Amino acid sequence: MRIRSADILRWGRIVAALIMWVAATAGLTSYGMTFPRLAVWIERVQFMPAAMTFGITTIVIWLIVTLLFGRVYCSVACPLGVWQDICSRLPRLRRHLPSHLRYRYSQPLTLLRNISLAFVAAAILLGINIVTSHTDPWKIYSELCTDVAKPIWGAAVNILSYPPVMIAAASLTGTTISIIIAGVISWLAVKNGRTFCNSICPVGTTLGYVAKYSIYHIDINTDKCTQCRKCEQACKASCIDLTSHVVDSSRCVECFDCLPVCENDAIHYTWSRHQLSTPLMIKVGDIKPSGTRFKLDGCTGCSSNPQVNQQNNPQNATISRPSE
Ligand code: SF4
Ligand code: SF4
Ligand code: SF4
């Protein structure tokens, strides 16, 4: 069996994410002295706690990492992001997915993202903790663990082993709020993948602005793409636009799920942008014969590969620059 670089990237990301998530969850839910220290260390590398305490070093490091490699923070370092991946994966474990469980490209919710980010930034500057604590992904996940999972784990420990532990339960209101917020985020993840990450989360929006210009990014080779849509259906961030063959880097969380599903080796994680080998055939929209402008709206299967065009859109297979 041949191991492809796409598989190595994807499995490397999964292993790193699981290590981080297990360490954070164990640190936040366990009793005693050893594991809770893990949670303290992991909190130090989280973006929002650093932003709220003006921890410039952590913020600058993550911005540089994002500028180089995209939103790897969201795939590996954020336990709420990994939790959403687990929730979204569970109903999609079966081999043949029904169509309603396949991901599809969606337009970015730019206005909602910006409003959410502006709201949280103002709350940080004005010190309004109620807003920041309910939009901070680390806080949301740590409250889910400490208010809900930790008391349950403590009760299980007291039944199964000795000596007993002292269960520190949160208030009923705190527990209810934690369950509601985590429940809504988990449900959104089950339905559509990273919806919270790409609509409400202020960290995701901030990193997204930097990731837009990231050096390494997902790129589609339009000469090889057959428009099979397998990558789009695997993308939990709904950010692969196959009409224009562009991946929205501001929403891509560098999970690499789209790479191994492509049977044509047409999608890559790379620093370069693919140049069309026959650019005149795809740039029909730019051609202005006699002052008119062609439009390709509605052409969903266009490719620079004539054979692919023939197969997908027989009517477009012979598009070429008209003589002027
Ligand atoms: S967008 Fe927010 S919640 Fe999602 S993974 Fe990134 S930091 Fe975590
Ligand atoms: S990039 Fe690959 S998986 Fe995606 S549509 Fe093109 S051929 Fe299919
Ligand atoms: S384009 Fe989608 S599937 Fe591919 S790495 Fe980005 S988020 Fe993951």
The pLDDT of residue 242 is: 92
Strand partners, 267: 220
CA dihedral 176, 180, 186, 192 (to 10 degrees): 180
Average per-residue pLDDT for the chain: 83
Indicate if ligand 2 lies below 6 Å from the C-beta of 231. Answer: yes
User: Which atom of ligand 3 is found nearest the CA of 231?
Assistant: 3
Short-list 226, 256, 264, 263, CA closest to 242: 226
Helix, coil or strand: residue 282 = coil
Q: Reply yes or no on whether the pLDDT at 32 is more than 90.
A: no
> Which residues lie with the beta carbon below 6 Å from any ligand 1 atom?
74, 78, 80-81, 137, 197, 201, 203-204
The residue contributing the CA closest to ligand 2 atom 4 is 231
Q: What is the pLDDT of residues 154-208, one digit of tens each?
A: 888 778 777 777 777 667 887 888 889 989 999 999 999 999 999 999 999 999 9
Q: Reply yes or no on whether the pLDDT at 231 is more than 90.
A: yes
Read off the pLDDT band of 306 (50, 70, 90): low
Helix, coil or strand: residue 259 = helix
Q: Which residue reads 């990558």 in tokens? A: 231
Are 70 and 212 contacting, i.e. CB atoms less than 8 angstroms apart? Answer: no
Are 36 and 27 contacting, i.e. CB atoms less than 8 angstroms apart? Answer: yes
Cα 239 to ligand 3 centre (Å)? 7
Read off the pLDDT band of 210 (50, 70, 90): very high
Q: What is the pLDDT of residues 96-116, one digit of tens each?
A: 878 888 899 999 999 999 999
Are 273 and 220 contacting, i.e. CB atoms less than 8 angstroms apart? Answer: no
Distances in whole angstroms, Cα of residue 117 to Cα of each of 58, 103, 123, 251:
19, 25, 10, 15
pTM: 0.81
Q: Where are the alpha helices (DSSP H) in the chain?
A: 5-29, 34-44, 47-52, 56-69, 72, 79-89, 110-126, 129-133, 137-143, 150-160, 172-192, 202-211, 230-234, 258-261, 306-312
Q: Reply yes or no on whether the pLDDT at 313 is more than 90.
A: no
Distances in whole angstroms, Cα of residue 169 to Cα of each of 33, 152, 155, 209:
18, 9, 11, 39
The residue contributing the CA closest to ligand 2 atom 8 is 228
Counting ligand 2 atoms within 8 A of each CB, the residue from 232, 264, 274 with the most, and so the one to mutate, is 264
Q: What is the pLDDT of residues 253-281, one digit of tens each?
A: 999 999 999 999 999 999 887 766 655 55
Highest mean pLDDT, choosing among 146-160, 235-249, 296-310:
235-249
Secondary structure percentages of the chain, helix, strand, coil, to 5: 55, 5, 40
Q: Reply yes or no on whether the pLDDT at 130 is more than 50.
A: yes
The pLDDT of residue 21 is: 95
Instruction: At 273, list the tokens.
Output: 């942008």
The pLDDT of residue 39 is: 87
Of the chain, the end-to-end C-alpha distance in Å amounts to: 53
The pLDDT of residue 321 is: 43
Read off the pLDDT band of 319 (50, 70, 90): very low
User: Domain spans of the chain?
Assistant: 5-211, 279-316
The residues, ordered by sequence, that sit 6+ positions from 164 with a Cβ below 8 Å of its Cβ are 157, 158
Helix, coil or strand: residue 247 = strand
User: What burial letters (b/e) apply to 247-264, b meaning 16+ CB within 10 Å?
Assistant: bbbbbbbbbbbbbbbbee
CA atoms of 68 and 53, how far apart (whole Å) = 25
The residue type at 295: K
Q: How far is CA 260 from its chain centroid?
A: 17
Which is more confident, 250 or 151?
250
Helix, coil or strand: residue 220 = strand
The pLDDT of residue 284 is: 53
> In percent, how much of the chain has pLDDT > 70?
82
The pLDDT of residue 51 is: 86
User: What burial letters (b/e) apply to 16-31, b meaning 16+ CB within 10 Å?
Assistant: ebeebbebbbbbbbbb
Cα 80 to ligand 2 centre (Å)? 29
